[in-house]
Amino acid sequence: MTAAFPLAPAVYVDESANSGQNLLDPAQPVFTLAGVQLPDELAAHIVDELRTQLPPNLAEPKYTSLAKSSRGRKALAHAFGQLPEGSVRTYVVNKRFMIMTKLVDLLVEPLAHADGVNLYEGKESLGLADMLHTCGPVFGDPMAYDRLLQSFVHWIRQKATTDDLFAAVASFKTTVQHDDFVEWVELLEHCRGVADETAADVAAGRLKDALDPAVPSLYTLTIAFGSSLGRHFRLVHDDSKVISHNAALLRTIHMFPDPARPGKFNQQMPALEIQFADSTTHPQLQVADWAAGATRQWAQHLAGAGGDQFSRDLEAAARPWLVGGIWPPSATT
């Protein structure tokens, strides 16, 4: 495909651990998106040099395989050390927390809005999601809380009814041992009317991909690159069905109101266009794969999903790349 703007610089983007709307996949608790802006020559040099440190019969050097061996880890560390400051930016998503943010967005916020309260303006929606996410498994039964999250995911994916969802809410409430927290769970029960209305949007396909972290992550990552590149760059994304399906939405997102800024619209996505390519033809996409994988492995350690010393050592490279995420504020370090 010939680029419409051949002289515009490119930002190359890849994902790590995207399980789509299956946000409770225990093997993939964190999603990461990485964007890389590197000249062709430098990107090719970094990839070629990494290859010289590995067995000659190795196929495309993906992060998942490189991170398994001491040789691969050393090669990655050397490659990361050659990346210019600001050439890599990443965005992370704690998938379990994202479920609760979406539950608040779709059920609680409309109820508050009907009462004239904007939960976005002062980040009250984020605080509420954080409180429910943090306290839910502590003040209530962890398994019942997990069933509540799973019921919401199934409801969005049309694998559960609204009755099923609110049965899970009620079941979780019976396990809560903290009187003040019970009131917050009862707030969810009061959202039944909103849920009945939202279910129609779900059935009509108007909330398709609502739980997939790729779209909001790409939008935010692109805004971050736009702060330095302006509106004169293009995105080259590793093949992605969900981004392809939502490309029109991303290009027109500035036509929709920004709920966090009453009376204003979303910021325009600064990239000139979105292209899709294979990582074997662009060394920058291979570097993006490494950056996304490294950030994801470090973030999984922060999320309490385990990890060895290498996971902790990745912080030196990964933390400076991070431009944001869907992450519980109470867990930020």
Tens digits of residue pLDDT in 254-270: 999 887 777 789 999 99
Shared domain check, 177 and 104: yes
Provide the pLDDT confidence category of residue 332 given band limits of 50, 70 and 90: low
Is 176 inside any structural domain?
A: yes
Shared domain check, 216 and 178: no
Provide the pLDDT confidence category of residue 20 given band limits of 50, 70 and 90: confident
Is 57 inside any structural domain?
A: yes
Residue at which a domain ends, from 203, 222, 253: 203
Kindly give the residue spans of alpha helices, DSSP state H, lying in the chain.
40-52, 63-66, 70-81, 95-103, 109-114, 124-139, 142-156, 162-173, 179-189, 192-203, 214-229, 241-245, 247-251, 283-302, 309-313, 315-321
Q: What is the overall mean pLDDT for the chain? A: 93
Is 2 inside any structural domain?
A: no
88: enclosing H helix or E strand: strand 88-94
Provide the pLDDT confidence category of residue 6 given band limits of 50, 70 and 90: low
Convert the pLDDT of each residue in 29-54 to its tens digit: 999 999 999 999 999 999 999 999 88
Shared domain check, 307 and 218: yes
- Rounded to two decimals, the pTM is 0.93
Shared domain check, 222 and 83: yes
Is 3 inside any structural domain?
A: no
Residue 225 in this model has a pLDDT that exceeds 60? yes
Q: What is the pLDDT of residue 5?
A: 44
Count of the separate structural domains present in the chain: 2
Residue at which a domain ends, from 138, 169, 203: 203
Question: By residue range, what is the domain housing residue 110?
Answer: 95-203
Is 4 inside any structural domain?
A: no
Shared domain check, 270 and 216: yes
Q: Taking residues 161-185, what's their average pLDDT?
A: 97
Residue at which a domain ends, from 184, 203, 222: 203
Shared domain check, 226 and 84: yes
